[in-house]
Amino acid sequence: MSFSIRLTAEEKSLAESYAKLHSMSLGEAFKTALFEKIQEEYDTAVADAAHREYVEGGMQSRPISALWEELDL
C-alpha cells in the first residue's frame, strides 16, 4: 500500500533532515515514526488498563523499604 501526504516546504525539509540524520529514506522515516507512535499509544493504553485494574482490585502499593525488610536487604 502506498499513500501521499502534503507537506509545507519547512515540514519537508525537517523530515528530510531527520531521515538523513538516521541514514534512512524519507519513506522509512515516516513509516518508523508512524509505528513508534502507534506502539507508544498502545503501551500507554495497556498500562492505563493495568493500573485501573490494580486500583479497582483494591491493590495498594507499599514502600520499597517494606520489600527490602521482607527480603532481609
Cβ–Cβ contacts within 10 Å for residue 18, how many?
Answer: 15
Question: Does residue 1 sit within a domain?
Answer: no
DSSP H helical ranges for 1-73 = 9-21, 26-56, 64-70
Burial grade of 63 (CB within 10 A; 0-12, 13-18, 19 or more): exposed
| pLDDT block averages, 10 residues each, the chain of length 73 | 93 97 96 97 98 91 92 91
- Domain range enclosing 48: 9-70
What's the total number of domains in the chain?
1
Question: Does residue 4 sit within a domain?
Answer: no
Q: Which residues contact 24 (CB under 8 A, 6 or more apart)?
A: 32
Beta carbons of 33 and 25 less than 8 angstroms apart? no
